[in-house]
Amino acid sequence: MMSGPEVSFFALCDGQSLLPLIEVQDHKRAYDGDLGPNTGGMGCYSPVPFWNAKLREQVIETILQPTLEGLKSDGIEYRGVLYCGLMITEDGPKVVEYNARFGDPECQILMTLCASDIVPALLACAGSKDHSLADIELNWRDEAALLVVLAASGYPATPRRDDPIIGLESVSDALVFHAGTRSENGHIVTAGGRVLGVLGTGANFSEARARTYEAVSRIHFEGAHYRTDIGKLAMSE
Ligand code: GLY
């Protein structure tokens, strides 16, 4: 058994080289205090307080680079996202899992905090001859971002559907990502377990968090539930 805090770290890969992105903290349990059933993710934030440049270098040099070399030596030309689920143990960072995709809702944080055009990097991953990851540098906004998922009643086991969502138009200071929604006669209704992701940014966590939860308080649908403690730990560290 391993113990320690978990964090997700991401890198793009064009088969030859890696372009590390940034770290994001996800919250997988359905209810406050990391209780209840496991979900795809109920909220996340970045930057992560216990993360630092040394840890980042360590993860790149001892985990990501050897992974890429291992893929190459197995004859695999890996292109795309390496999503590395890490546990920061007393013996250093260890891999809990790899995913070959961006995370949801981590991706919403990554795209919001990325200050550069990410398209050339994605084209390089897709094999475009005009782009190479080795020549690309991505800049990141020096801000905090925090996202809270509004889930449907019954999520994750049996999410309720088809409820009208009200208040979306009253959100002006946060981004609202639609995940489990659809349009019915001009109205947005629920159509999945994780219905919306509400994301606020700010100069620090308390600003980002306040913006997010203020926007969340404006949105309503029958049975909506969300975690009220996303980023709470980050603020106390
Ligand atoms: N949020 C976790 C995942 O995308 O796997």
Domains of the chain: residue spans and CATH: 6-135 (3.30.470.20), 144-236 (3.90.600.10)
Among candidate residues 111, 171, 179, the one with its CA nearest the CA of residue 150: 179
Q: Which numbered atom of ligand 1 lies nearest the CA of 99?
A: 5
Tell me, what's the pLDDT at 234? Answer: 79
pLDDT (tens digit, 9 = 90+) per residue, 58-77?
Answer: 999 999 999 999 999 999 99
User: Token pair 């919250």 is at which residue?
Assistant: 27
Q: Whose CA is nearest to atom 5 of ligand 1?
A: 103
pLDDT (tens digit, 9 = 90+) per residue, 155-193?
Answer: 999 999 999 999 999 999 999 999 999 999 999 999 999
pTM: predicted TM-score of the whole model, two decimal places: 0.94
Tell me, what's the pLDDT at 167? Answer: 98
Beta-sheet pairing, 194-202 with 175-178:
antiparallel
pLDDT (tens digit, 9 = 90+) per residue, 117-128?
Answer: 999 999 999 998
Tell me, what's the pLDDT at 131? Answer: 86
**Across the chain, what does the average pLDDT equal?**
96
- In this model, does residue 47 exceed pLDDT 80? yes
For ligand 1, the distance from its centroid to the CA atom of residue 129, given in whole angstroms, is: 31
Q: Residue 237: pLDDT band by 50, 70, 90 thresholds?
A: low
- In this model, does residue 111 exceed pLDDT 80? yes
What is the average pLDDT across 119-146? 95
What is the average pLDDT across 81-95? 96
Q: Whose CA is nearest to atom 4 of ligand 1?
A: 103
Contact 61, 67 (CB under 8 A): no
d(CA 125, CA 80): 5
d(CA 10, CA 69): 17
d(CA 52, CA 15): 27
Q: Whose CA is nearest to atom 3 of ligand 1?
A: 103
pLDDT > 90 in the chain, percent? 95
pLDDT (tens digit, 9 = 90+) per residue, 201-234?
Answer: 999 999 999 999 999 999 999 999 999 999 988 7
Tell me, what's the pLDDT at 155? Answer: 97
For ligand 1, the distance from its centroid to the CA atom of residue 103, given in whole angstroms, is: 4
- In this model, does residue 107 exceed pLDDT 80? yes
From 8, 177, 194, give the residue whose CB has the most ligand 1 atoms within 8 Å, as the site to mutate: 8
Contact 195, 160 (CB under 8 A): no
Among candidate residues 142, 234, 219, 157, the one with its CA nearest the CA of residue 188: 219
What is the average pLDDT across 17-31? 96
For ligand 1, the distance from its centroid to the CA atom of residue 99, given in whole angstroms, is: 8
Tell me, what's the pLDDT at 129? Answer: 87
